[in-house]
A and B are shown apart, each in its own frame.
Chain A
Amino acid sequence: MATPAHTNSAVRDALAVGLVSGCGIAYQITLMRIFSIVHWHHFAYLMISVAMLGFGASGTLLTLLRPWMAGRERQVLVGSMAGFAGAMPLAVLAGFAIPFETFHLVSDPRHIAYLFGLSLVLALPFLLCATAIATALIMHRERFGWLYGINMTGSACGAVAVIALLFLLPPAAIPIVLAVPALIATALAGGMAGRRLALSLGIAMVVLAAWATPRNLPVSEYKILSYLQQFPDFAEVARTQSPLSMIQAVTSSLLRETPGQLSNYPFREKGPLPPQAGLVMDAGSLSAVHQYDGDLARFAFMDYVTAALPYRLLDRPEVLVIGAGGGTDVLIALVGGARQITAVEIDPRVRPLLDGPLRHYSGGLFDRDDVDYRVAEGRGFLAASPRAYDLIQVALIDAFTAAAAGVFALSESYLYTREAVELYLRRLTPDGVLAITRWIKTPARDEIKLFATLVEALERTGIQEPGHHLAFIRSWNTATLLASRSPWTPEQIEAIRSFSRDRWFDISFLPGLAEHETNRYIALEEETYFLAAREIIHGDRDAFYRSYPFHVRPATDDKPHFFQFFRWRSLPVLVETLGWSWLPFMEWGYVTLLAAMVQGVVASAILILLPLALSRHRREGAGTRSGVFIYFGCLGLAFMFLEIAMIQKFMLFLAYPMYAVAVVLASFLLFAGLGSLAADRFLRPGPKVAGGAVAGLGTLAILYLLLLPPLFTSAATAWSDPAKVGLSVLLLAPLAFLMGMPFPSGMTWLGHHRPPLLPWAWAINGFTSVLGASLATFTAIHLGFRVLVLFAIALYLLAAISFFRMAGNDETIHPKFIALRKASIHRAG
């Protein structure tokens, strides 16, 4: 038994580890937010790679410092915790000082160096955080499972806490706030000396916070907010933030954000466009709020956009608008003569902004008797409501420039999957119409994938000849695609033709449309849309999907990455036609993820292999080393694969992506932590525990693969949010509990048999778990989430086998461990 002093020190260290772990994850999420605003959304993926760099480097550092560290563990622990506290805000400020600009990345090589510098600066806090945790784990390796459980539980608390913080504070202030628990951790772990260090650092922190942290983030000059700020009468009237995004309500007499044609809009006769305010999201996208005063005549221009087409086909329809935003599509519906409009908006912060600071602009548009405003996710709303509509209008909700540039390539979008479209079609009245408007992308890909999705969804609802139910018109930058429950009538076909003729829109698909009737008003070099649509309807569809230079096969709930168009095969064609420098501007998301992953793999290779090459222990059992590599590598990957797959599965059920991420992440960390604690308390950590846990979690994962999809599309979708969250936690708990056991079992075993390899194992697991996040996204994009889960199970099995083999090969106990046990018995005695 340990002495009370020894126990107290372990408890204090454990608390410190819990605090530092929580800060680490909170800091990573904060950085993702900060750099999504300052630069672009795909920086989230770079932050993952940055964290990976820091975690991997900590393993290397500890391996190299082992000889020096003997007897100085406490100093390293306290120093790295204090350093972590200070580095969090300082790294952000240093990051702001680096003049990196995404836009210049492909044209100015200096910006590659800036990006590298930024990565190194931001990796430093993670290096210190991971060094602190790993040092504590090594110091208390006889209680590894327990301490690791605290580490995971702390991370879970950090994940939940940062979500709350991101609602309350500007993102730039959070690193300073996070320094407080990190300083408390320093004081806990360092005793009197630590308290002095923490106090001095704390004072320095407050001074720094007051002096250096900018109120406004230094947003890239190429983001829409920076352009708007150049308008002489620009004003930011309100700002709201959440873990998902920052929204700024802005005004300027110069805002005129109306995507569409308007080339022949008779503005002299009908008057100029009414003034607008705007909602700017993450400084990178603008949604217009038109000044509404009840006089719809001022909005005649709304009839000059492609999204107005369905109102020419339906008589006073009852409409569901998915993506109410600032109200553009509701105005289109009102101008089009809608009888009743249900406007669904996913973001609960939009309405208060419209009713409050922007009331002068929104003018109570959503208070009208014929408008029913609902805060809900579009698909979840439809799934839970049995009502049918004459028109379902999916608005240009991602009318955001960054989204159009491919930065959402990696995001799941359940609004545009084949199953989603099928649901929309089933919720139409017998003569109802589904209308989806999208930005036109060059080269053509978005609309072609959407057209294919509509065709396949129509077929799944039992329609034999989808071509008779579809229409596709385009302006110079938007396209509106229609799908009807009943075949178009000759009157409707004529209405589509005359609307397009009057407005100078081109028709790219309509029953009976001849090729010579296309490409008249906005002449493309080739009417790709018509040719593609004809091929999808009448040709060999599969061959077309395979041969088209972009990925245009419809997205499904299993592969819901609608915005992912990149195909390796088409790379030579793209480079030949557009040149290398264009690629990032089309497929930013994919390219950034790829770059992050390559950077991660290269760093992993160097930082994992380097310590082994330099280590004095390199001649120790080659079998154990490869076993350690496989075991901890597989665990890192598999854990992330399952976590990301579950986030995806529960996203559909919980409807709000933020709920899904928060619930799954917190449940995984918390229950995995409890699993680790339970293994330590009640079981003897080793291959048998790991093997048992793998068998259990594999079975559960397969069961979930089979049972969750029907459960998540059943009546449970109509449950209240708390009930859904409760069910999700219940479902996730056993899986995460079992997933928490293999890693500490392996570490405990290693601590007994090969203690010098502990930091190395820590580094491998750190690297692969972060690499796993990127790799999981790639796997899901290309192979789907089902395959991702199966891969995770296979990796867990491989890990278990490797553990059994490793244990079978090495029954000896390391002499140092015997000495340690003796010492501990001696102290206890």
Chain B
Amino acid sequence: MGRRSTTVFLVAAFAAGQTNLYGDLFAMRRDAMVRETIENRQVTDPATLRAMRAVERHRFVLPELIGNAYDDRPLPIGFGQTISQPYIVALMTELLQVNEDSVVLEIGAGSGYQAAVLAEIVNRVYTIEIVPELADLSANRMKELGYENVVVKEGDGYFGWEEHAPFDGIIVTAAATHIPPPLIEQLKPGGRLVIPVGPPMQVQNLMLIEKTEDGEIRQRSLMPVRFVPFTRR
């Protein structure tokens, strides 16, 4: 079956409410996505790959785009925000180098997809979303999908989440004009912060910021990437 006809078939199946029957098809598409667009591009961390295979991306996209849920591209979710490209989600997750004991802060919950992927790996995910509608949406979604280790807060990501700091990893899923100093402060020694930099609608750089055990900061510009802008309070 060709890619297009599979998509049409999946949409039709989903629309008919037969998601259980056709869940296997989504799983097949998801597996193909991980194999073709993530593993092939040197994302090798087994936990990340497992999480990417586990999280049902089609539950995080707009209904009309469900047929594109497993395409390797960002998709609009409204409010000028997007659900990131699967490869970038995988890459950012791998870059954090987190494990089942880690506590992670995410700035920009958006659809909740990145938080769900992290939740498959880490102990706890705290995520902040500035757009109230999106904060509600992702909180409800986490509940529905059973991600009890994800806490969603509506608010300003600029100052991080001091009550739960320090964090093993901080992931910012929207572009910023400067790295908020409080986020660096809330990073544990040995922790990592991943953030895209540069204006929206332009090629941006994915930056990795590492705090060494002695508190020194190392920054690396990794690759061009495109995100929605970092909205903050």
Which A residues lie within 8 Å of B190 (CB)? none
Is A230 an interface residue when CB atoms closer than 8 A count as contact? yes
Q: Is A254 a contact partner of B156 (Cβ separation < 8 A)?
A: yes
Set A101, A253, A476: member contacting B221, Cβ < 8 A: A476
Q: Is the interface of A mostly helix, strand, loop or mixed?
A: loop
Set B76, B203, B221: member contacting A578, Cβ < 8 A: B203
Is B201 an interface residue when CB atoms closer than 8 A count as contact? yes
Q: Is B178 a contact partner of A582 (Cβ separation < 8 A)?
A: no
Is B130 an interface residue when CB atoms closer than 8 A count as contact? yes
Q: Is A477 a contact partner of B178 (Cβ separation < 8 A)?
A: yes
Closest chain B residue to A227, Cβ basis: B231
* Complex: A439 Cα to B177 Cα, angstroms: 10
Instruction: Mark the stretch among A259-267, A348-356, A621-629, A708-716 that contacts chain B.
Output: A259-267
* Complex: A524 Cα to B76 Cα, angstroms: 30
Q: Is A442 a contact partner of B199 (Cβ separation < 8 A)?
A: no
Report B229 CB to chain A, min CB distance, Å: 6
Which B residues lie within 8 Å of A477 (CB)? 177-178, 197-198
Closest chain A residue to B223, Cβ basis: A525
Q: Is B80 a contact partner of A256 (Cβ separation < 8 A)?
A: no
Which A residues lie within 8 Å of B74 (CB)? 107
Is A222 an interface residue when CB atoms closer than 8 A count as contact? yes
Which B residues lie within 8 Å of A476 (CB)? 179, 197, 205, 207, 219, 221
Tell whether A264 pairs with B217 under 8 Å between CB atoms, given A221-B79, A401-B201: yes
Which B residues lie within 8 Å of A137 (CB)? none
Is B184 an interface residue when CB atoms closer than 8 A count as contact? yes
Which B residues lie within 8 Å of A254 (CB)? 130, 156, 158, 232-233
Q: Is A524 a contact partner of B221 (Cβ separation < 8 A)?
A: yes
Interface size for A (C-beta < 8 A) is 54
* Complex: A670 Cα to B67 Cα, angstroms: 57
Q: Is B229 a contact partner of A259 (Cβ separation < 8 A)?
A: no
For window 208-222 of B, CB contacts with A under 8 Å fall at: 209, 217-222
Report B59 CB to chain A, min CB distance, Å: 20
- Residues 249-277 of A, flagged 1 when their CB comes within 8 A of B and 0 if not, give 00001101111111111111000000000
Q: Is A405 a contact partner of B202 (Cβ separation < 8 A)?
A: yes
Set B203, B220, B232: member contacting A522, Cβ < 8 A: B220
Set A220, A257, A265, A586: member contacting B203, Cβ < 8 A: A586
Which A residues lie within 8 Å of B132 (CB)? 232
Tell whether A222 pairs with B181 under 8 Å between CB atoms, given A442-B198, A523-B220: no
Is B23 an interface residue when CB atoms closer than 8 A count as contact? no
Set B177, B201, B219, B224: member contacting A504, Cβ < 8 A: B219
Set A257, A267, A268, A402: member contacting B201, Cβ < 8 A: A402
For window 343-367 of A, CB contacts with B under 8 Å fall at: none
Q: Is B79 a contact partner of A230 (Cβ separation < 8 A)?
A: yes
Is B182 an interface residue when CB atoms closer than 8 A count as contact? yes
For window 440-497 of A, CB contacts with B under 8 Å fall at: 440-443, 476-477
Q: Is B80 a contact partner of A221 (Cβ separation < 8 A)?
A: yes
Is A548 an interface residue when CB atoms closer than 8 A count as contact? no
* Complex: A578 Cα to B223 Cα, angstroms: 10
Which A residues lie within 8 Å of B202 (CB)? 401, 404-406, 441, 585-586
Which B residues lie within 8 Å of A263 (CB)? 179, 181, 184, 209, 217, 219
For window 103-132 of B, CB contacts with A under 8 Å fall at: 130-132
Q: Is B181 a contact partner of A523 (Cβ separation < 8 A)?
A: no
Which A residues lie within 8 Å of B102 (CB)? none
Q: Is A259 a contact partner of B224 (Cβ separation < 8 A)?
A: no
- Residues 558-597 of A, flagged 1 when their CB comes within 8 A of B and 0 if not, give 0000000000000000000010011001101000000000
- Residues 65-76 of A, flagged 1 when their CB comes within 8 A of B and 0 if not, give 000000000000
Is B35 an interface residue when CB atoms closer than 8 A count as contact? no
Extra inter-chain contacts (9) besides given A230-B231, A442-B198, CB under 8 Å: A230-B131, A231-B130, A262-B181, A263-B217, A401-B200, A401-B201, A476-B197, A582-B203, A585-B201
Contact sample, A vs B, 15 pairs, CB 8 Å cutoff: A227-B229, A256-B232, A258-B178, A259-B177, A261-B178, A263-B179, A401-B201, A405-B199, A442-B204, A476-B207, A504-B219, A522-B220, A523-B219, A524-B221, A586-B203
